[in-house]
Amino acid sequence: VGPSSGDELGWTLDRHILERQRRTPGASGDFTGLFQAIALAGRVIASKVAKAGLADVLGATGAVNVQGETVQKLDELANKILVRCVEAGGHVCVMASEEDETTIPVPPQYPQGKYVLMFDPLDGSSNIDVNVSIGTIFSIHRRVTASGPGTAQDCLQAGHKQVAAGYIIYGSSTMLVYTTGDGVHGFTLDPLVGEFFLSHENLRMPTRGNTYSINEGNRSKWTPGVTEWIDTLKSDKAPGGKPYGMRYVGSLVADFHRTLLRGGVFAYPGDRKAPEGKLRLLYECSPMAFIAEAAGGAASTGTQRVLDVEPTALHQRVPLFIGSKEDVADAERFVAKDA
């Protein structure tokens, strides 16, 4: 639900969520509360990012996370901010983060809620220190265990069961984009007011684009199918009869955001060294897939719809081909040759 044309003034994210709550029979306000906590965390992280070079948040912590990656100060800070903003609200029973090996419990002094929150607190770590767009990704499920503290079982749910998913992009402006499965909406942060205002209502992804987005430095490790696919996109045999352009930021949030608005395809394929690819299913691929489909796009592992993958581990990785429907279908056709 959104403003009628000319009535956009004052459509904050809070109002958007509240209107949704009013239309949902039996809604308790829990989802609204959780969303407000996430948006608050996003605003706090955005303010740190905006003055990163002055706020002593650049550089590495010296630690290595469960993924085997060097933890940046902002990875750690964003992780803390999210947990602190959400844990006390009584809306979630368990959380999971890229930066934590095991699930994050809700401290016993707070009520256990009915939702499960998983997130990539800071996406695009390699871009923090060079002032390039980074983001936060989140995925919300309903709990499946009956009561008490949530467990890993609550986290290991297929993506099509998501209640909501979204991301915040800390770009030239800060935006929050989310879906509950019916329509994708974008809100831009007015940094002086400190509020997200509706700026992109009901985003639709073009069914075909003219850019591809992939880390071409991995080419020597690609499978023949992926190599042939990209070679085709770079040639006159590309759909449309002329070569696609190439765009690659190296932050999934930024590469996906562009793909959502402009169409085209982003890929992090499995390769000969890493058959599962790099990106994590539960808090990177699955939420982005939920958004892509809700905007008329598609997301595939190359052989399967991302939202149908039954997760078996918290930090499981899957290959990702995401974007315009027809471009993702083409990718699947080429990947099938590798079988």
Binding residues for substrate, by number, are: 123-126, 215, 248, 278
- The window from 30-38, 44-52, 114-122, 207-215 that contacts Mn ion (CB under 5 A) reads 114-122
Which residue ranges are tagged as binding site?
A: 98, 120, 122-126, 215, 248, 278, 284
Helix residue ranges per DSSP H, the chain:
13-23, 30-50, 73-87, 152-155, 224-233, 252-262, 286-294, 325-336
User: Footprint of ligand AHG on this chain (CB under 6 A)?
Assistant: 69, 98, 120, 123-126, 215, 250-252, 268, 278
State the nearest-atom distance from the C-beta of 183 to ligand AHG, in Å.
25
Cβ proximity to Mn ion, 61 vs 145, nearer residue: 61
Calpha distance 231→269 (Å, rounded): 15
**Residue 251 contact, options ligand AHG, Mn ion, none, Cβ 5-8 Å cut-off depending on partner type:** ligand AHG
Q: Using CA atoms, how far apart are residues 32 and 328, in angstroms rounded to an integer?
A: 33
Cα–Cα distance, 287 to 118 (Å, whole number): 9
Chain centroid, CA 23 distance in Å: 26
> Which residue in 11, 77, 95, 120 binds Mn ion (CB under 5 A)?
120
**What is the spatial distance between Cα 136 and Cα 42, in angstroms, rounded to a whole number?**
8
1 vs 313, which CB is nearer to ligand AHG? 313
**C-alpha 191 chain-centroid distance:** 22
Of 36 and 120, the one with the shorter C-beta distance to ligand AHG is 120
Q: Note whether 195 and 13 are within 8 A (CB).
A: yes
For residue 45, the SS3 value is helix
Which one among 123, 271, 293, 327 touches Mn ion, defined by CB under 5 A? 123
The interface mask with Mn ion, positions 53-92, x = CB under 5 A, is: ----------------x-----------------------
Q: Which residues contact Mn ion (rule: CB under 5 A)?
A: 69, 98, 120, 122-123, 125
